[in-house]
Structure 1
Amino acid sequence: MPEPRHGGLARPEVTAAEAAEVAARRWGLVGEVRELGSQQDRNYLIATSDGARVLKFANAETRRAELEAQSAALERLALAGLRVPATVPSLSGADVESVDVAGGTLLVRVLEYVEGATLLESGGFGADDARLIGDTAGRIAAALSDFAHPGTERVSQWDSRAAAAVVDELLPHVSDAGQRAAIASAREAAARRLEAVAPELPVQVIHADVTGDNVVRTPGGDAGVIDFGDLQQGWRVAELAAACAGILIEDAADLCGLMLETVSAFSARLRLTDAELTALWPLVVLRTAVLVVSSAEQRELDGDNDYAEARAAAEWRSFRRASGWDADELEALISAAARGAGDSARASVELRRMLPAALTPTPVDLSVLSPELDAGAWLEAGTEERILRAAAGRSGAATTRWGEYRLTRARPRAPRGSAKTLATGVELVLPAGTELSAPFAGSVHTEDGGLALHGEQVSLRLEGAAAAADGPVEAGARLAVAAGGSDERHLAIVRVQLATVPGIHPPFFVTPLADAAWRRICPDPSALLGVDAAVAAPDADALLARRDASFAPVQEHYYARPPQIERGWREHLIDTTAQVYVDGVNNVATLGHSHPRLVEAAARQWALLNTNSRFHYAAATELSERLAELAPAGLDAVFLVNSGSEAVDLALRLAFTATGRSRILAAREAYHGWTIGSDAVSTSLGDNPRALESRPDWVELIEAPNPLRGRHRGPDAGAAYLADLDAQLEGLGAEGRAALAGVILEPIFGNGGGVLLPDGYLAGVYDRVRALGGVCIADEVQLGYGRLGRHFWGFEQQGAVPDIITVAKAMGNGQPLGAVITTQEIAAAFAAEGSFFSSAGGSPVSSRIGLAVLDVLREEGLQENARLVGEAFKAALEGLATRHPSIGAVHGLGLYLGVELVTDRASFEPATRLADAVCEALLEEGCVVQPTGDHKNVLKLKPPLCITAESARFVTGCLDRVLTELGA
């Protein structure tokens, strides 16, 4: 047997012309020649008049015995009924020819071409494909169970027995330090789990690569198998491990569920031992790690290998998935799938009541929607037990709910899906000494902290209860006693969990990875309790379908498959599976989500009065006074409205009436709102691709003063843009200039991702407009209210003072509330159009919330937090730019930041597709970030002002990982 060699090999340097010559001379095959992808060999498809053939040039290190073993295995599998390529003899009758080509001697052979598309090429990978892979792998392993050939006695990088050594040897080829550390950690954990069972694993010849790349769906619908280049002796379970690792490369919604389908289909063909089931998941992790390190080495050896290059990102994603999933959970799921979890026989078992008839526990809500968990109570230690004991104290007994995603188990700043929030059983709070009856006949076994009752079709585990006796027990007989309570009421806590799969001990809390599988494995125990304690599985996809059916689809939603967000707290958003995301985009919730002061203010005012602003009440007056105090001197007349769009619309009308004129200057690439007026001055192509062609005549567009992407670039571009404006105004003529009512600008390109205007530009524009008799509108809807840290208003950064300020979003922290702040003179001129009121704008509830927002901003120092955290956040993002060439620029101030992604920094070509991919990947990391700008290539980062430095660092770290994974 040759010495072990774990490294990769560069492909033979054989051209298509050389391949055509060899095919004609040695096999008499003539036809069009096309190269096929390969990791270490060189393969060509020959399209002859008699059908397609595959000409395979083996790597120079390949032994003839290995190729002969493959031919023999193909014959064995064909006899077993599998569709595999047959070996085509050469003109001399040999299966393998030795050919002088490419400056050396190579072993060459020809195989039949298996017609059809591989499952990877077919698209839309689903459960049928996963089962086909598992079934095919099982059939191959069964057919080769007693196959032997000297050519299979080799050790390669694809031998799972050497996987840990392969990772160690090839890891230095991975260039990114973070990736190396992640691989090393996963390798150590997987090898440790594998070590205990490795000596018990059966060895045989395996294909070692039955994946979506190598399973072909033939025109007749059967499965064909190709590429036997990895045929070797190895652990039998490694055949399934390779198939499962291949599933993780796919792009599908429920990868875990698909992988379990593969396990189930394989197990129907070949029953694995307990040791093999334990070994499977660590082998999957090691397989994905080997894929990554091997690919990294191969790209160094063979720089023009497009096949290896294209696979690299997908292989890294498969490793990230495998290493990120909980190993204990996966081991239980795999065992259940292999043993037929939840089949009809086990599902039909009759369960009897376990509790005394006089004792019915009260179900306690610990879900994302639970009012008991408001105001951040879900983060407090001991919350679960406190709520449970309080409920039991009131009613005598209490129970948690089965199938519930518990908010109390949520984890901030963690990858999506990593928090174990799904309860597979219930916890009962009972009087100590309560007797529990057997809900079915079985055998009792005492365990640490409790007992297990094993029946023919189902098992029951109780923790916190003492068994009456070990051994057989009849249904309804005395089973156990609740152990002594630890509080003054002598209440005991008993964990209850059913399982339909013998031989496994399911975790009590699991991740959302395999909801449906866990509900089969650990069924609803409500029948044991005498009360419905079950919670249905959340279905965000079904709700999305309902939304699209009734909520006009033009009202877009974030993400291709968005999580269902039902709670927020500070800078966190929480979905219905109790997974927590750092909210990186919500400048509406400026104080953070669910602030208790706002909840209290709204509830109190609702209890008193809510009406329209024509009535006389204190709140609207107090809010108007506070806003006037915050505005520059002279801007002391306030209009209260519902939204930013309404505020901008009103500001435009104020400009028209105050000047008696009809034209407005507005910048390209800006967004101001959706009403007719505010939309008229909006030109953001990202929001409306037809914006430039649909502007009304009364809007005069000026060049976007973008110092990074615009006509004039650099920090001193302001003078050039102002010169352009002078020329444009001159071109309007005296009549056009006389019709100018004013200008509306964002003091920073908010919708462009926080791009700062050139120094002096805004003040220069204001001077020119005022010289012509117009008024100046500062759109602060996105920027104002302390978000910039060093400045309360955006125009302060430019050293300019407007005549009209529009503000919304942050004013109400999500409550519909906006304002226009202007001079008494401009406000009085509006009387020419009659009186003004907004039915809900400035209502008592909205005004009280607006006042509370201002109070909290001041008392909690949120503007200063925006400065401190924002400056550190921006510096960290700029640090990422030194490592990721896709970051063209980092924009903004305070907590209004933007990361502009480009295809290359020289051309500054927008990387729109990359930005979308980054945002989708960040969601999986636990961050909500969205693209903005005309090209949708700027990652907008405008989180609640209460965001902590820790959460900002979390977002930066996630972005670093995602860009690394995407090779950007």
Structure 2
Amino acid sequence: MPNSDFLVQPSLPRPEVGADDAAAVAESAFGLTGRITELGSNQDRNFLVDTGEGRYVLKIANPVFSAEELHAQNAALAVLADADARIPAVLPARDGAEVVAVEVRGRTLNARVLGFLDGEPLTDVARLSPEQLRTLGRLSGSIAAGLAGLRHPGLARTTQWDARIGGDVVALLAGHVPQPAKRRAVVESAEAALAALEPLRRRLRVQAIHGDVTDDNIVLGADGPGVIDFGDVAEGWLVAELAATVTSALHHQPEDPLAVLDLIEAFHAESPLDDADLAALWPLVVLRGAVLVVSGEQQVALDGDNAYADENRAHEWVAFDVARRLPFAEVEAAIRARLAATGAQEGAAALGRLIALDSTDAHLADLSVAGHDLDEGRWQRPGSEDAVLERICREHGHALTRYAEARLTRARLDRSQPSATIALGVTLDVPAGTVVHAPFGGELRLVGGAWLLHGDGLDLWLDGLSRPLTTAAVGRGDAIGSAVRLTVQLSRVPGWRPPAFVTPALPLSVWSGVSPDPAALFGVEPAAPAPDPADVLARRDSSFARVQEHYFAEPPLIERGWRHHLFDTRAQSYLDMVNNVTQIGHAHPRLVRAVSDQWALLNTNSRFHYEELSRFTERLAEVAPEGLDTVFLVNSGSEAVDLALRLAQVHTGRRTVLAVTEAYHGWTVGADAVSSSLGDNPRALETRPDWVELIASPNVFHGRHRGAGSGPAYLAELDEQLAALDAAGKEVAGFIAEPVFGNAGGLMLPDGYLAGVYERIRARGGVCIADEVQVGYGRLGHYFWGSAQQGVVPDVITVAKAMGNGHPLGAVITRREIAESFAAEGSFFSSAGGSPVSSVVGLTVLNVMRDERLQENAAEVGDHLAGRLRALGERHPLVGAVHGMGLYLGLELVRDRETLEPATAEAKLVCERMLQEGAIVQPTGDGKNVLKIKPPLCITRESADRFVDALDLVLATI
């Protein structure tokens, strides 16, 4: 029988062998009797045989594997018998054979028996200690070294774990991954790993390897660690042995993947890695993770009762997901730094000047997220870094970039992985012909287009150095050439250049050990560290009332916005899917200039007379529904709601206001009085003042009556409440509600509901207030006002948020006679409401919305986004419904689509995971289980697609 080839025979269900079958084989072939217990296995059948005097493992092999392959496994056990670890011993059969053919249920299978190793599997340890990681690495390395000389015909086999065919295995089995988002992530990651491995394949050493020295196969016992399961012994890449071991450790500490450096260092001490191994290791870890994921899914599909394979799937995904998020080059740099020779610190202490600057001051370019040279989107332009350096050099004689600066210029939008933004070198702009000197002695040679000065424990890499193309030995202080723009990078890894830019995936302390700050080469102070988000959060908590909540458990430090993107201090971009405050997008150049120009002229209170106020209020009256012609300007939505309530009460001479449950209207005393959202105030229903009458929220999804046609049922309930109020002599001043339930996640009201309520309120002389603070102002796309969707015209509209694009600005729009009623309580005044700057902000926002067709964009992109979100519900049971319209959408997550139990914890976890994916979204609703999706109206279809793709993957993996 030929040796197995997985690509020829990719389906390996375990043979049908029960405990009774195993008992018969153990006794008849090996003379063993006792208690039989099945052990886990992906493709074979393994049984523990406890005779009372000893314990053994009966291994009945998958029929795909030849006897020759099993003999090769036994040969591996023999050569490792004297290893510094416990290795199972082979127990011969009654006839002295190590492998015997047995009949089980009419099928011939190969069986053998090994000694059982006592101990607890390392896989059961939640978090591996540094010592356990080193033990794992030492065992893997020593076994690799011990098997290096093994030769056997049974080793010439092709298993699914052979890294050399990893790409073929993923391609063959990817279809077994049921979730498209997970499948896409696995395939794309495997392709990236294969691309990185391609130039290395011919250089990787091939030998006999165990292939599975993992946490599953290391047992810790009183007599020391033991290694079990030699079923994957075969020829393979030496470094693949280490890759398998590293992959198995990742799920133990996913928050600290670099802990595996201890493991790698221990392996290297036993079985030294060469240059090609180091370059190939992390791509192989990613590829191994991908193979584990697809193989686990295939095995469960083939062998539904295989609990071992089923249980492993969760941690196999974690290991793969951790590995794929770390850039290959960055992990390679960290590994090389750990394994490199020591002594670099001494070399670094004796650095001389590379260039003598003509000033004692360092004229630093600010390419960070706070750099104003990069305003108005200039950071996206080709050559933006060059332009900044050239300007500073013209003005000051030189320009220098900063080490470890996270450069906005390197940020990628709509990212699926972190952007490599952090500079590990610096660039100097100087006048033409500036002389460059060697800061230390060594050999200077050209390597791949850059000059390398190789010193004692420290290398200097130079781009832009002009000199003859000759290798030379130079002394400290020698002139080595000239430069106009010189990029400089130090390295403590001899002969190897670290990445020029890295992601924030690894801590800066790692990089300072690999590629230290070259500031001393120019006689300037080392770069100041960027602010630590955790430190800034602690300062916030010490001086800012903690009830003023912040997003996320460990929030990024956001310091810049651009259109529908936010940027943290590490220059990582985030899709802003929650900011309905920023209607026209962050940092809109037209708005920035308008505000700056007005601040330069005048900003005061609205009791003064200036034309900008008239321009703005005229435009508001123009866009308001017909009949609403008078405007109050205030500072916020809460203030607008408060004023609207007072207008209703003053105009009618009554106090009672009807408001719906589940609603949020603001934080002022009046706005809070009509707010009943339990998500914002758990005591809301029991603390309403006596002038507020709550009516049932017409929630079409999980209210008492459901569906778009539930309006008459809710109106019938309202009729009963109104009759009771009439009977009690309580006259209604007004009714307030959002025309789309924004706080509940964008739920649309039942058809005709608002028209029916308005009719009833007006019949009693009451005022109808539409709170459009969240859902109005073009956000619905198909309607400028939410009330228009319901086919009604309110008596009063409140608006804020969007109209100021982040500036504190709100408005109440009403009829003249209602506005004039306020005179009974004196005049109205808001210090900053309607100020010149506020008026300019408001008018500019309206103009930008018109000129850039942002309402139309809300309709087009919103419809596309809603369709894609609804498609998620077809494959993710957690998705209960998609609410809303335009760019005010809500994705409701439920644990059960029948009971509609809110998936509160899951929604929180989704938001945290989405942050890792580069998107900011937050939950709302009384159950905090509705993802509110309300980005700036300038969002593109491409960004919307990126958001849904990320959400698809997160929902598939939580």
- Once the two structures are TM-superposed, the CA of residue 442 in structure 1 deviates from its matched residue by 0.2
Which runs of structure 2 are paired with 1:37-116 in the superposition (5 Å)?
Answer: 37-42=40-45, 59-61=62-64, 79-82=82-85, 107=111, 109=113, 112=116, 114-116=118-120
**1:493 aligned to which of 477, 482, 485:** 485
- Which string of whole-angstrom CA distances, capped at 9 and with x for unpartnered residues, describes residues 881-915 of structure 1? 45555444332222112233345655555444444
Q: Whole-Å Cα distance in 2 between the matches of residues 57 and 645 of structure 1?
A: 73
Change over 3 Å in CA distance of 1:203–1:802 after alignment to 2:
same
Please tell me the residue identity of whatever aligns with 2:384.
Answer: T
- Once the two structures are TM-superposed, the CA of residue 244 in structure 1 deviates from its matched residue by 2.8
Q: Whole-Å Cα distance in 2 between the matches of residues 208 and 92 of structure 1?
A: 31
Change over 3 Å in CA distance of 1:223–1:764 after alignment to 2:
farther
What is the RMSD of the two structures over their aligned residues, measured on CA atoms?
3.8
Q: What is the SS of the residue equivalent to 2:745? A: coil
Q: Whole-Å Cα distance in 2 between the matches of residues 267 and 605 of structure 1?
A: 66
Say whether residues 1:936 and 2:928 are aligned partners: yes
Q: 2:570 matched to which residue of 1?
A: 577
Change over 3 Å in CA distance of 1:548–1:133 after alignment to 2:
farther
- Once the two structures are TM-superposed, the CA of residue 444 in structure 1 deviates from its matched residue by 1.0
Contact kept in structure 1, 2:254 and 2:322, CA below 8 Å: no
Q: 2:296 matched to which residue of 1?
A: 295
Say whether residues 1:194 and 2:187 are aligned partners: no
Q: What is the SS of the residue equivalent to 1:769? A: helix
- Once the two structures are TM-superposed, the CA of residue 318 in structure 1 deviates from its matched residue by 4.7
Contact kept in structure 2, 1:99 and 1:108, CA below 8 Å: no
Q: 1:544 matched to which residue of 2?
A: 537
- Once the two structures are TM-superposed, the CA of residue 572 in structure 1 deviates from its matched residue by 1.0
Identity across the alignment (%):
53
Please tell me the residue identity of whatever aligns with 1:118.
Answer: L
Q: What is the SS of the residue equivalent to 1:891? A: strand
Change over 3 Å in CA distance of 1:265–1:372 after alignment to 2:
farther
- Once the two structures are TM-superposed, the CA of residue 769 in structure 1 deviates from its matched residue by 1.9
- Once the two structures are TM-superposed, the CA of residue 937 in structure 1 deviates from its matched residue by 3.2
Say whether residues 1:716 and 2:709 are aligned partners: yes
Say whether residues 1:650 and 2:654 are aligned partners: no
Say whether residues 1:674 and 2:667 are aligned partners: yes
Which runs of structure 2 are paired with 1:275-354 in the superposition (5 Å)?
Answer: 275-312=276-313, 315-316=316-317, 318-319=319-320, 322=323, 325-339=326-340, 345=345, 348-354=348-354
- Once the two structures are TM-superposed, the CA of residue 797 in structure 1 deviates from its matched residue by 0.8
Contact kept in structure 2, 1:898 and 1:941, CA below 8 Å: yes
Q: What is the SS of the residue equivalent to 1:717? A: helix
Contact kept in structure 2, 1:347 and 1:500, CA below 8 Å: no
- Once the two structures are TM-superposed, the CA of residue 936 in structure 1 deviates from its matched residue by 3.2
Please tell me the residue identity of whatever aligns with 1:526.
Answer: A
Q: What is the SS of the residue equivalent to 1:559? A: coil
Q: Whole-Å Cα distance in 2 between the matches of residues 45 and 141 of structure 1?
A: 27
Contact kept in structure 1, 2:34 and 2:51, CA below 8 Å: yes
Change over 3 Å in CA distance of 1:273–1:647 after alignment to 2:
same
Change over 3 Å in CA distance of 1:945–1:170 after alignment to 2:
closer
Q: What is the SS of the residue equivalent to 2:6? A: coil
Which runs of structure 2 are paired with 1:477-556 in the superposition (5 Å)?
Answer: 477-482=478-483, 492-514=484-506, 515-532=508-525, 534-537=527-530, 539-556=532-549
Contact kept in structure 1, 2:56 and 2:113, CA below 8 Å: no
Say whether residues 1:851 and 2:853 are aligned partners: no
Contact kept in structure 1, 2:3 and 2:154, CA below 8 Å: no
Please tell me the residue identity of whatever aligns with 1:919.
Answer: C
Q: What is the SS of the residue equivalent to 2:665? A: coil
**2:808 aligned to which of 816, 822, 842:** 816
- Higher mean alpha-carbon deviation, 47-56 vs 609-618, is at 47-56
Q: Whole-Å Cα distance in 2 between the matches of residues 83 and 201 of structure 1?
A: 29
TM-score, normalised on structure 2? Answer: 0.89
Count of aligned residue pairs for this structure pair? 949
- Higher mean alpha-carbon deviation, 571-580 vs 10-19, is at 10-19
Q: Whole-Å Cα distance in 1 between the matches of residues 153 and 882 of structure 2?
A: 60
Q: 1:898 matched to which residue of 2?
A: 890
Gaps of 5+ in 1: 483-491
- Which string of whole-angstrom CA distances, capped at 9 and with x for unpartnered residues, describes residues 321-346 of structure 1? 55565444444444334336x76646
Change over 3 Å in CA distance of 1:835–1:421 after alignment to 2:
same
Q: 2:238 matched to which residue of 1?
A: 236
- Which string of whole-angstrom CA distances, capped at 9 and with x for unpartnered residues, describes residues 439-468 of structure 1? 001001134544211011111111111236
Change over 3 Å in CA distance of 1:169–1:820 after alignment to 2:
closer
Q: 1:588 matched to which residue of 2?
A: 581
Q: What is the SS of the residue equivalent to 2:433? A: coil
Please tell me the residue identity of whatever aligns with 1:295.
Answer: G
- Which string of whole-angstrom CA distances, capped at 9 and with x for unpartnered residues, describes residues 176-216 of structure 1? 66766665555455445434443443334433233444456
- Once the two structures are TM-superposed, the CA of residue 587 in structure 1 deviates from its matched residue by 0.3
Which runs of structure 2 are paired with 1:728-767 in the superposition (5 Å)?
Answer: 728-732=721-725, 734-735=727-728, 738-767=730-759
- Higher mean alpha-carbon deviation, 19-28 vs 242-251, is at 19-28
Say whether residues 1:155 and 2:158 are aligned partners: yes
- Which string of whole-angstrom CA distances, capped at 9 and with x for unpartnered residues, describes residues 838-888 of structure 1? 444444433332232223223332222222322333334344445555444
Contact kept in structure 1, 2:606 and 2:830, CA below 8 Å: yes
Contact kept in structure 2, 1:462 and 1:495, CA below 8 Å: yes
Q: 1:381 matched to which residue of 2?
A: 382
Q: 2:761 matched to which residue of 1?
A: 769
Change over 3 Å in CA distance of 1:347–1:450 after alignment to 2:
closer
- Higher mean alpha-carbon deviation, 390-399 vs 203-212, is at 203-212
- Once the two structures are TM-superposed, the CA of residue 701 in structure 1 deviates from its matched residue by 2.7
- Once the two structures are TM-superposed, the CA of residue 472 in structure 1 deviates from its matched residue by 1.0
Change over 3 Å in CA distance of 1:601–1:196 after alignment to 2:
closer
- Once the two structures are TM-superposed, the CA of residue 834 in structure 1 deviates from its matched residue by 5.2
Q: 1:793 matched to which residue of 2?
A: 785
Change over 3 Å in CA distance of 1:720–1:10 after alignment to 2:
same
Q: Whole-Å Cα distance in 2 between the matches of residues 676 and 140 of structure 1?
A: 73
Which runs of structure 2 are paired with 1:202-281 in the superposition (5 Å)?
Answer: 202-215=205-218, 225=227, 227-249=229-251, 252-255=254-257, 257-281=258-282
Please tell me the residue identity of whatever aligns with 2:165.
Answer: A
Q: Whole-Å Cα distance in 2 between the matches of residues 467 and 571 of structure 1?
A: 47
Q: 1:464 matched to which residue of 2?
A: 464
Q: What is the SS of the residue equivalent to 1:716? A: helix
Please tell me the residue identity of whatever aligns with 2:240.
Answer: A
Please tell me the residue identity of whatever aligns with 1:305.
Answer: N
Q: What is the SS of the residue equivalent to 1:523? A: coil
Q: 1:426 matched to which residue of 2?
A: 426
Contact kept in structure 1, 2:363 and 2:399, CA below 8 Å: yes
Contact kept in structure 2, 1:88 and 1:112, CA below 8 Å: no
Q: Whole-Å Cα distance in 1 between the matches of residues 544 and 72 of structure 2?
A: 62
- Once the two structures are TM-superposed, the CA of residue 557 in structure 1 deviates from its matched residue by 2.7
Contact kept in structure 1, 2:799 and 2:810, CA below 8 Å: yes
Change over 3 Å in CA distance of 1:393–1:147 after alignment to 2:
same
Q: Whole-Å Cα distance in 1 between the matches of residues 90 and 497 of structure 2?
A: 48
Contact kept in structure 2, 1:427 and 1:493, CA below 8 Å: yes
TM-score, normalised on structure 1? Answer: 0.88
- Higher mean alpha-carbon deviation, 669-678 vs 15-24, is at 15-24
- Once the two structures are TM-superposed, the CA of residue 541 in structure 1 deviates from its matched residue by 3.6
- Which string of whole-angstrom CA distances, capped at 9 and with x for unpartnered residues, describes residues 604-654 of structure 1? 444445455555555555544443343334434433333222322333333
- Higher mean alpha-carbon deviation, 176-185 vs 677-686, is at 176-185
Q: What is the SS of the residue equivalent to 2:566? A: strand
- Which string of whole-angstrom CA distances, capped at 9 and with x for unpartnered residues, describes residues 111-167 of structure 1? 646544635x44356766655543443344345444667765543111223323433
Contact kept in structure 2, 1:152 and 1:232, CA below 8 Å: yes
Say whether residues 1:404 and 2:409 are aligned partners: no
Contact kept in structure 1, 2:344 and 2:457, CA below 8 Å: no
Q: 1:945 matched to which residue of 2?
A: 937
Q: 1:860 matched to which residue of 2?
A: 852
Q: Whole-Å Cα distance in 1 between the matches of residues 105 and 703 of structure 2?
A: 53
**1:726 aligned to which of 710, 719, 726:** 719
Q: Whole-Å Cα distance in 2 between the matches of residues 229 and 479 of structure 1?
A: 59
Which runs of structure 2 are paired with 1:552-563 in the superposition (5 Å)?
Answer: 552-563=545-556
Q: Whole-Å Cα distance in 1 between the matches of residues 42 and 97 of structure 2?
A: 25
Q: What is the SS of the residue equivalent to 1:899? A: strand
Q: What is the SS of the residue equivalent to 2:551? A: coil
